[in-house]
Amino acid sequence: MTGRADASGDRAVAAGGNIEQVVTGDFSTQVEHGVLLPAESLSVPASGLVHLPERTALFVGRAEELARLDAGAPSGVQVLCGLGGIGKSTLAAHWAAGRIDDHHPVWWITAETVGELDAGLAALARAMQPAYVGVLPEDALRERALQWLAAHDHWLLVLDNVSDPADVKPLLARATRGRVLITSRRATGWQDLAETIAVPELDPEEAAALFARVCPGDGVAEVCAELGHLPLALRQAAAYCSEAGISPRAYLDLLARYPAETYALTAEGGETGRTVARVWQVTLDRLEDTPLAGRILGVLAWWASEGIPRRLLEPLGSPLEVTEAIRRLRAHSMIALDGDSLSVHRVVQAVVRAGGAGREEAGALLVGVVRRLPHPDEVRANLVAWQAIAAQAEALARHTGPEQDSGEWARLFEWAGLLFGMAADERAVFLATRATLGYVRLYGMEDKRALRALRTVMVGSRAGGSPELSELLLALHVGVYGPDDPRTIEARSRVAEFLLPSSRERAEALLRENVDRAVRSLGEDTRETFDARRALLAAGTDPQAAAADLEVLLARARDVLPESDDLIQIIEISLVAVLLESGRPERAVELAEAAVGHALERYGAARLETVTRRAYLATTLEGAGEDERARELARELLPVCRAALGEGEVTSIVRRLARKRLPSDG
């Protein structure tokens, strides 16, 4: 047959001349010296035809995702999407291996490029009809495979690591009668083609089970958390630990000391191109035409892994530029969006951070926020929103060392600590300490900024901190105010009380020094001297003698100090504690009840002074063995505490007492 050959109609085929060209109306396939064979000549062996990766024995979890795959989608096409290394391919292989009795063939194609997809389809045709080998070229084999898929059902294709939805759109348009499962880092662009299933990291229990199958030992849960429960990172770390003969905890130490090198490690025979240090490089290469995307990822590496306010990135470019960069990062599963917040996997952060880029810009963006802080009333009205920004400063501080902190960074960390409520939050203690170290390094021990940052942290053992911080606080007071200033004397008492449990000898020496300095520089009947004596007496090892002396001190303080001075209540509390310790519970309860009566008379029932005295009376009753009365008072007091004090330490104590079970309850 010679001359022109035209094809028209749905899937029509025309053969012209020596059959060098096949035209279907939708597609054109050039065939060099081909032999025209019908699609029906392809067949699936009776035993089935399966081409899948080796099934891993390390598969765990994924119950929800497996159930969705089992349920299928109306279109017959589903996409497992998510971050590189999250386990999409492992999940797809595991599920497909369970479908070989229901689908013929079950065929896996690596489809990162169009060329790889075409090669996979051609390989399917060769497997179905070995006689085609050497007879038809690759493009003709691909076309035969497509024709067979279009004409048959009950088959399953797995297209692994698809880069762009457009690459598989022609195949999906023609092959509509079977099942197609796609894995892709692309999280968007599938809405007209397939149902998407986002693949998350493993939950902590599943991650630990995966790791322990290869390398059990101390620190499994901790290393899994550090690796963000990312399956690829877990498998490689476990294999490396097992081969190197080290514990998971030892691997954690390597991660902390050599992050860049450790994320590049793999066991012998492992795929060096699939280490967590390299697995995202392909995605980053694809984002090179949007340079701001890389800059943003560099900034995010130094912040928290979730809850990042999107508005913090606004200064990096125009609204369109920033939006486009965020869109592309999300499309390639490098970040996730939740309303106005962003999140990024912690291992992605760690790998990017190990490269060092973005640190200064991450700090500069936060410093810019602090420079233009609104009025404190506005901060209080939007505390949660501002704490979300403070959380980024906290992450920056934890990811960096204080050696190169600027004054602006120290101020940033101090501000963030204030937003977390200094003495009530470990995060606040950490941030205030970091700010203090920065100020001291930059400005010396005589600078008030360092003292301002630290002094509200170390007010007592309830604040956390350490003996070293306590000593630093005292040294700062001496440096700024001198050793005999009332503020230094008060600080010395607080520091000594904090040191008592761990360093009694040092604490008692400070307390004796404090009484001497207070008397000598301020006189006997001053507030600072009363407090110094109270602290020394309360720390004594003879409760009987201390109780008597505190009774005298309390009486004198009531004569000299204003009734509203909270030091009177502090002396009362110290005396009650000593009375209980010395075996005089009746006197302790009597004193605590008198303090409540005095507060009710002076302040009324709703005032903070009265509420705290009633709460202390409840704990005193418990200490005296009067549990029924303690619980009854606590139940009456709990709603009052919530209203007056919020959910703080005192309210927690009262709640515990209110819920306490007694032997009489049966």
- For residues 234-260, b (16+ Cβ closer than 10 Å) or e, as one string? bbbbbbbbebeeebbebbbebbeeebe
- Band (13; pLDDT cuts 50, 70, 90): low
Q: What is the pLDDT of residue 57?
A: 72
CA atoms of 183 and 88, how far apart (whole Å):
6
pLDDT at 32: 46
Residue range 62-70: mean pLDDT, rounded: 94
φ/ψ bin of 571: left (φ > 0), alpha (ψ from -120 to 50), beta (otherwise): alpha
Phi, psi of 662 (to 5 degrees): -115, 160
**CA–CA dist 630, 500 (Å, integer):** 29
Residue with structure tokens 């995010």?
A: 300
Task: Output the pLDDT for position 42.
Answer: 74
Q: What sign results for the dihedral spanned by CA atoms 416, 417, 420, 425?
A: positive
Task: State the burial class of residue 481 (Cβ atoms within 10 Å of its Cβ: 0-12, 13-18, 19+).
Answer: middle
Confidence band, pLDDT 50/70/90 cuts, at residue 418: confident
In the beta sheet, which residues pair with residue 629? none
Length of the chain counted residue by residue: 666
Radius of gyration for the chain, computed over Cα atoms and rounded to the nearest angstrom:
36
Mean pLDDT of 340-357: 89
Cα separation, 344 vs 297, whole angstroms:
9
Residue 41: pLDDT band with limits 50, 70, 90: low
Q: Which of 45-54, 308-317, 587-596 has the lowest mean pLDDT?
A: 45-54
Q: Count of CB atoms within 10 A of residue 355's CB?
A: 12
Q: Look at residue 652 and tell me whether its pLDDT is greater than 50.
A: yes
SS3 (DSSP) at 610: helix
| Residue 475: band (very low, low, confident or very high) from pLDDT cuts 50, 70, 90 | very high
pLDDT at res. 633: 92
DSSP per residue, 382-435 = THHHHHHHHHHHHHHHHHS-GGG--HHHHHHHHHHHHHT-GGG-HHHHHHHHHH
pLDDT at position 40: 59
Cα gap 127→130, rounded to integer Å: 6
- Residue 293, token pair as written in the block: 């995307």
pLDDT at res. 46: 65
Residue 83 has pLDDT above 60, yes or no: yes
Q: How many other β-carbons are positioned within 10 Å of the β-carbon of residue 36?
A: 11
CA dist 323 and 333 (Å) reads 15
Which of 212-221, 308-317, 345-354 has the highest mean predicted lDDT (pLDDT)?
308-317
Which stretches within 279-382 are classed as H helix? 281-286, 291-300, 319-331, 346-354, 359-371, 376-381
Residue identified by tokens 């005999």 is 484
d(CA 443, CA 435): 12
- Work out the average pLDDT over 53-71: 87
Greater confidence (561 vs 132) lies with: 561
Please name the residue that has the structure tokens 């009597």: 590
**pLDDT for res 271:** 59
Q: How many C-beta atoms lie closer than 10 Å to residue 121's C-beta?
A: 25
pLDDT category at 39 given cuts 50, 70, 90 is: low
Calculate the average pLDDT of the chain.
Answer: 86
- Is 620's pLDDT higher than 90? yes
pLDDT > 60? residue 422: no
Whole-angstrom CA distances from 171 to 29, 110, 113, 510, 546 are: 14, 14, 13, 81, 89
* More confidently predicted of 218 and 41: 218
What's the sign of the alpha-carbon dihedral 168, 174, 177, 178? Answer: negative
User: Is omega for the bond preceding 105 within 30 degrees of 0, making it cis?
Assistant: yes
Assigned token pair, 387? 């704490």
Pairing status of strand 50-51 against strand 106-110: parallel
Q: Which pairing describes strands 308-309 and 341-343: parallel, antiparallel, or unpaired?
A: antiparallel
Region for residue 48 given its phi and psi (left: phi exceeds 0; alpha: psi -120 to 50; beta: otherwise) = left
d(CA 263, CA 249): 15
What is the C-alpha separation between 662 and 49, in angstroms, rounded? 70
Residue 478 has pLDDT above 90, yes or no: yes
Q: Which pLDDT does position 461 carry in this prediction?
A: 35
pLDDT of residue 17: 44
Arithmetic mean of pLDDT, 44-67 = 83
Lowest mean pLDDT among 64-73, 501-510, 598-607: 598-607
pLDDT surpasses 50 at 12: no
Q: What is the 3-state secondary structure (H, E, C) of 519-571?
A: HHHHCCCCHHHHHHHHHHHHCCCCHHHHHHHHHHHHHHHHHHCCCCCHHHHHH
pLDDT band of 624, cuts 50, 70, 90: very high
Residue 44: pLDDT over 80: no
Q: Cβ contacts of residue 314 below 8 Å, gap of 6+?
A: 322
Residue type, 249: R
Q: What is the pLDDT of residues 103-143, one digit of tens each?
A: 989 999 999 999 999 999 999 999 888 877 777 788 888 99
Q: What is the mean pLDDT of residues 600-611?
A: 84
Q: What is the pLDDT of residue 454?
A: 85
pLDDT value, residue 462: 44
